[in-house]
Amino acid sequence: MGKTRKLIPPHGGKGLTCCLLEGAELEAEKKKAEGLKKITISPRAKGDLIMMGIGGFSPLTGFMTKEDWKSVCEKLLLADGTFWPIPVTLDADEDEAGSLNAGDEIALYDPEGDEIMATMKLTEKYEMTGADKEFECEKVFMGEGTPTAEEFWKIAKDDHPGVQMVMNQKKYNLAGPVKVLSESDYPTKYAGIYMRPSESRKIFEERGWSEIAALQLRNPMHRSHEYLAKIAVEVCDGIFIHSLVGKLKAGDIPAEVRVKCIDTLVKNYFVEDKVLQGGYPLDMRYAGPREGLLHATFRQNYGVSRMLIGRDHAGVGDFYGMFEAQDLFDKIPYHSHPDECTDPGKALLCKPLKIDWTFYCSKCDGMASLRTCPHGKEDRVLLSGTMLRKGLSEGSPIPDHFGREEVLEILRGYYAGLTEKVEVKLHGAATGEQK
* pLDDT tens-place string over residues 258-276: 889 999 999 999 999 999 9
User: Would residue 219 show up in a list of annotated catalytic residues for this protein?
Assistant: yes
Query: Residue length, the chain?
Result: 435
pTM over 0.85: yes
pLDDT at 435: 38
Considering the candidates 196, 218, 258, 311, report the single residue annotated as catalytic: 218
The pLDDT of 51-63, averaged and rounded, is 98
* pLDDT tens-place string over residues 194-245: 999 999 999 999 999 999 999 998 777 888 889 999 999 999 999 999 999 8
pLDDT at 3: 47
- Mean pLDDT, the chain, integer: 91
* pLDDT tens-place string over residues 368-411: 999 999 999 999 987 666 677 778 878 888 888 888 999 999 98
The half-sphere exposure of 145 on its side-chain side, counting CA atoms within 13 A, is 28
Tell me the pairing of strands 212-217 and 306-309: parallel
Considering the candidates 201, 219, 301, 306, report the single residue annotated as catalytic: 219
CB pairs under 8 A, 24+ apart, for 126-130? 126/65, 126/66, 126/172, 126/173, 126/175, 127/171, 127/172, 127/173, 128/91, 128/169, 128/170, 128/171, 128/172, 128/173
The pLDDT of 6-16, averaged and rounded, is 96
User: Would residue 218 show up in a list of annotated catalytic residues for this protein?
Assistant: yes
Q: Which domains does the chain have, with CATH numbers?
A: 23-128+169-182 (3.10.400.10), 190-355 (3.40.50.620), 359-410+417-431 (no CATH)
